[in-house]
Amino acid sequence: METWFYEVVRIDGDYAHLKRTDVVSDELKLVARALLPEEIMEGTKLKYELLQYEII
């Protein structure tokens, strides 16, 4: 299973906009906040592995 790294760019209600930090990309991924750790805020670094997001 692969591992991806993200940064929370913006929180918009029940969704967060994530940007990949392990590859060069301008695309943002829209993720429901229910799938993310409760403690996130803009600028939080995340690791996605085994279908789970974890703060790093």
- What single string gives the DSSP state of each residue in 1-56? --EEEEEEEEEETTEEEEEESSS----EEEEEGGGS-TT--TT-EEEEETTEEEE-
Residue 1 has pLDDT above 90, yes or no: no
Q: What is the pLDDT of residue 25?
A: 86
Q: What is the pLDDT of residue 44?
A: 97
Q: What is the pTM of this model?
A: 0.90
